[in-house]
Structure 1
Amino acid sequence: MHLDDRLDTPLYQQLFDQLRHRIEEGGQPEGSRLPPIRSMAADLGCARNTVENAYALLAQEGYVKSRPGSGYIVQNVAFVQADADRGALLAEPLIGAKASRARYDFTYGDLEPGTFPAMTWRAITDDILLSVESAGCDAYNDPFGEESLRAAIAWRLSTQRGIDCTPAQIVIQGGTQTSVQNLLALFDPVRDAVAMEDPGYDGVRTVIERSRFPLAPCRVGLGTAAFLDDLETSGARLAYLTPSSQFPTCRVMPTDTREAVLKWAERHDAYLLEDDYCRDFRYRERSLPPLASMDRRGRVIYMGTFSKSLSPALRINYLVLPEPLRDRWREAFASSYSPVPWLNQQVLARFMTDGSWDRHLRRVQAKNRRKYETLTRVLSATMGNDVEMLENGTGLHLLVRVRDGRPQDELVRRAAEADVAVYPTKKYWTDPAKHVSSTVLVGFSSIAEDDIEPGIRALAAAWFG
């Protein structure tokens, strides 16, 4: 084996790739031991932490297992699956994750403990801090964010989502609410109203109201005509939309409606803020193209996030600004700095370009697909015609409507008495009194796969006896 420090690939990644290849090709048979870390480092002329990081990554991927007193033992690679969560024993829980208040917590938003690829993240962090790249921590960073991260995002949007953009259009931000609040600084609360779906994400609605912008709710669920009528009469200069999977109703915006809202934006000199929060998770048919990929007039502001696939605690998302807004943003925030720390941006950029992101995303997608399939299967088996599932095979939650008309507060209370947490939806309506009764939100991003079936059976017993 040979490590080349002239390459852009980190040394630990080079060693990991070579050892993985050797194991997969049978050159390092099952049950054999990897060389001790000290001797491997001496043979390769590298630091011990380079070998430690490579071995830890092999263990996280399931190629080897660490045994006290025996070192790293090669495993049976026939059982190494792309979707296996081999890193769960090594990964640390997400920082700030709150303890579940119920035995079976069907919350939405948090990720399952162990999802974050802690060992890989640590290895990349160490490598950056010990390299020439660490000079970046001695200076204020670009207000738009690190060039390396913006380039990685732009490449993926262009090649995987059909969005024609450049790194210069991307702004790294510290979460959805921060993004919306900063974006509103480019508009005038005296003249410009903001439209958003009703029901819709309450976090965004709160930011709009606190910024003292007139809010124009656009009805979702009463047909496309009602939504478009509300939008047409809103007087809005900005509209917040979740077309890939409307939150919280899980409706997908049809192609003709997408075309209509694009024409509305052009006709009224307005902009569309497309929150594509769940695009990484689809379990059935292929998704419709993003609004931003259909936009030919520079009317769509695309917003993506890493909270659902990597970590909500990192607080990293991004905006893709049309060129006129990019120039206004640069002027408005000329004296500001990126809200996301330099190191987190650099580590994420490396994570996205060295193959780590693809491996991690495949695992998380496969795990959430299994959860979705288990949840929908058990709901159907245990509650049958007593409930209706509102979902579209996308995202990390669905809605469950009980057909007997009981109020959602009663449903939530009875679930809690059975040590099951499901969640009310009324807060997503501009006027909570208009919420759809008998409907609760059931998420599956945080709950363990093995807990889904007993949790739903406990919920069925609580609701129907």
Structure 2
Amino acid sequence: MAQTYKYREIYLKTKQDILSQQYNSHEKLPSKRQLANDQNVSINTVKNAYEQLFAEGYIYTKERQGYFVEALNKLIIQDHRIPQPIHNNPTKIKSSYRYSFSHMTTDISQFPIDLWSKHTKEAFRLFQNEMSEIPIYKGPIELRKSIAQLISYKRGVTCYPDQIIVSSGTANLLSALFNTFSNNQKIAMENPGYSRMRKLFIDMGQDVVNIPLDQKGLSVNRVKSEQPDFVVTTPSHQFPTGTIMPISRRIELLNWVTEHNKYIIEDDYDSEYKYGTDNIPSLYSLDKNDRVIYLGTFSKTLMPSLRVSYMVLPYPLLYKFDLATDTAITDLSLINAYTLHLFIKSGNYEKYIRKMHHIYTEKRELFLKVLNKEFKEDISIYDMEAGLHFLLSIKTSLTYQEIEQKAHDNSIELYTLRRFMVDEPANSKVKTLIIGFAKIELEDIEPAILKLKEIIYE
């Protein structure tokens, strides 16, 4: 260990002397034997240091003469100021909250990490060859087959594995899709709606139009007047209002895109959790004319940090997409992909979903009970019996900004409807909050709601 340290010390010191021009160009360095005696180290230690310098181009050798310094220009250093630390934007720094009402989180306390680790080891054993090669852009065929089977019986999405593209996030899938078009597209989005997706399209230079909602979801009349190329919608559990699009509205929207040769992008982001009723069929399951692009994710069922999302493309778009991504390489973690495939295939995915459905049902029911008890007639709960969040409208004189700031000051993670609206909402006496119930522990629900009540009425 001491000799290894000395080798690094000799290497680094000699390199620094060369860079600072302590040696002249083509000047001979001390012989290995001489430097070994001076430093009280072995000749091999000096030899290793010199060979590293030679490999990096700092020195060269002459047969039977020794090592010499290469002719190097002096490295330009413009100033000697001490580097300043990078200060992150304070608004981007995530705090450690005491209570979280976030709609973006899941409860991973019950995640079967031992089973997942077992499948990871199995994936290494079964798919060594596949993981040692450059992966195809669509993701492993094994996972795509598992997803095709899963969404067929869960969501009525009948497709071939070839139609499925798996990636590390919805944003990557949509970016790849719209990069296949040579010109910008007109994209209709729900308002309020998924603000990150809206920003993604705007940053890509797409023409985004905002479509208002009514009690049935997306306004098809407004869609017809705007004439977009693509309509982005969350029909099974509108984000963030929770509205479920009825069959009449779905048929109307499907008929319009079919007649005008347009497309729907169905974001089925948290369809797995329904309470009191069966799952709402996907819009894709009604489509008989290849007009619906289906988006799904494992962020809500497993965990957001897993970063596995997928897209099902209709065949009219698939050939064009495959051509555009022919030489692309996926950004998907292959070990996660193969592990997820085995997790689904073994039945452990469905077993975990059933367990989490029970846990989320219990949390949701307690949330509703305590909210009604504490706020009484001052609140209206828009409970659509689906997903991992609901809307809470509450009577208060506080502004949206004041609610958000007071929640932050009291170590509560809380989001309001303002976050998802294109324009600043009117300052009415009723404010709408997004209440996510996944992450908070059962024993913390009542104290968290009492703290929220204190913030609203303080």
SS of 2:165 mapped into structure 1: strand
Partner residue, 2:454: 461
Q: Which amino acid aligns with 1:444?
A: F
Among residues 380, 396, 407, which one is paired with 1:415 in the alignment?
407
| Alpha-carbon displacement from aligned partner over 1:302-361 (angstroms, at most 9, x marks no partner) | 111000011211110100110111111101101112221221111110000012111211
| Alpha-carbon displacement from aligned partner over 1:378-409 (angstroms, at most 9, x marks no partner) | 11111111111122011111121113454222
Query: 1:405–1:228: structure 2 CA closer, same or farther, 3 Å change rule?
Result: farther
Query: 1:405–1:181: structure 2 CA closer, same or farther, 3 Å change rule?
Result: farther
Alignment map for 1:270-285 (pairs within 5 Å): 270-285=262-277
2:113 aligned with 1:118? yes
2:161 aligned with 1:167? yes
SS of 1:438 mapped into structure 2: strand
| Alpha-carbon displacement from aligned partner over 1:417-441 (angstroms, at most 9, x marks no partner) | 5443321221211223469861111
1:189 touches 1:214 (CA, 8 Å); kept in 2?
no
Shift, 1:115, TM fit: 4.0
Whichever of the two has the greater Rg, that structure is 2
2:168 touches 2:333 (CA, 8 Å); kept in 1?
no
SS of 1:382 mapped into structure 2: helix
Among residues 100, 107, 111, which one is paired with 2:102 in the alignment?
107
Query: 1:166–1:150: structure 2 CA closer, same or farther, 3 Å change rule?
Result: same
2:191 aligned with 1:214? no
SS of 2:171 mapped into structure 1: helix
Shift, 1:128, TM fit: 2.3
| Whole-Å separation in 2 of the counterparts to 1:435 and 1:317 | 37
Query: 1:225–1:278: structure 2 CA closer, same or farther, 3 Å change rule?
Result: closer
Partner residue, 1:181: 175
Query: 1:114–1:225: structure 2 CA closer, same or farther, 3 Å change rule?
Result: closer
Alignment map for 1:138-157 (pairs within 5 Å): 138-157=132-151
| Whole-Å separation in 2 of the counterparts to 1:407 and 1:304 | 35
1:388 touches 1:403 (CA, 8 Å); kept in 2?
no
2:190 aligned with 1:193? no
SS of 2:116 mapped into structure 1: helix
2:228 aligned with 1:228? no
Which moves more between the two structures, 437-446 or 364-373? 437-446
2:217 touches 2:244 (CA, 8 Å); kept in 1?
no
Shift, 1:113, TM fit: 4.4
| Alpha-carbon displacement from aligned partner over 1:267-321 (angstroms, at most 9, x marks no partner) | 2211111011111111122233110000000001111100001121111010011
Q: Which amino acid aligns with 1:312?
A: P
Q: Which amino acid aligns with 2:121?
A: D
1:115 touches 1:310 (CA, 8 Å); kept in 2?
no
Query: 1:312–1:224: structure 2 CA closer, same or farther, 3 Å change rule?
Result: closer
| Alpha-carbon displacement from aligned partner over 1:30-88 (angstroms, at most 9, x marks no partner) | xxxxxxxxxxxxxxxxxxxxxxxxxxxxxxxxxxxxxxxxxxxxxxxxxxxxxxxxxxx
Alignment map for 1:64-103 (pairs within 5 Å): 101-103=96-98
SS of 1:233 mapped into structure 2: helix
1:306 touches 1:317 (CA, 8 Å); kept in 2?
yes
2:399 touches 2:427 (CA, 8 Å); kept in 1?
no
| Whole-Å separation in 1 of the counterparts to 2:362 and 2:218 | 36
Among residues 381, 385, 397, which one is paired with 1:393 in the alignment?
385
| Whole-Å separation in 1 of the counterparts to 2:244 and 2:165 | 27
Partner residue, 1:329: 321
TM-score, normalised relative to structure 1: 0.75
SS of 2:190 mapped into structure 1: strand
Shift, 1:250, TM fit: 0.9
Alignment map for 1:354-393 (pairs within 5 Å): 354-393=346-385
SS of 2:127 mapped into structure 1: helix
Among residues 343, 348, 355, which one is paired with 1:351 in the alignment?
343
SS of 1:236 mapped into structure 2: coil
In structure 1, the gaps of 5 or more residues are 1-97
Partner residue, 1:449: 442
SS of 2:304 mapped into structure 1: coil
Q: Which amino acid aligns with 2:145?
A: A
Query: 1:225–1:110: structure 2 CA closer, same or farther, 3 Å change rule?
Result: closer
In structure 2, the gaps of 5 or more residues are 1-92
Shift, 1:253, TM fit: 0.8
Task: Give the number of aligned pairs.
Answer: 365
Q: Which amino acid aligns with 1:143?
A: Y
| Whole-Å separation in 1 of the counterparts to 2:357 and 2:117 | 22
Query: 1:421–1:138: structure 2 CA closer, same or farther, 3 Å change rule?
Result: closer
Query: 1:114–1:224: structure 2 CA closer, same or farther, 3 Å change rule?
Result: closer
SS of 2:305 mapped into structure 1: coil
TM-score, normalised relative to structure 2: 0.76
| Whole-Å separation in 2 of the counterparts to 1:214 and 1:224 | 25
| Whole-Å separation in 1 of the counterparts to 2:116 and 2:292 | 33
SS of 2:381 mapped into structure 1: strand
Query: 1:104–1:231: structure 2 CA closer, same or farther, 3 Å change rule?
Result: same
| Whole-Å separation in 2 of the counterparts to 1:435 and 1:214 | 29
Partner residue, 2:26: none
Query: 1:245–1:269: structure 2 CA closer, same or farther, 3 Å change rule?
Result: same
SS of 1:313 mapped into structure 2: helix
SS of 1:432 mapped into structure 2: coil
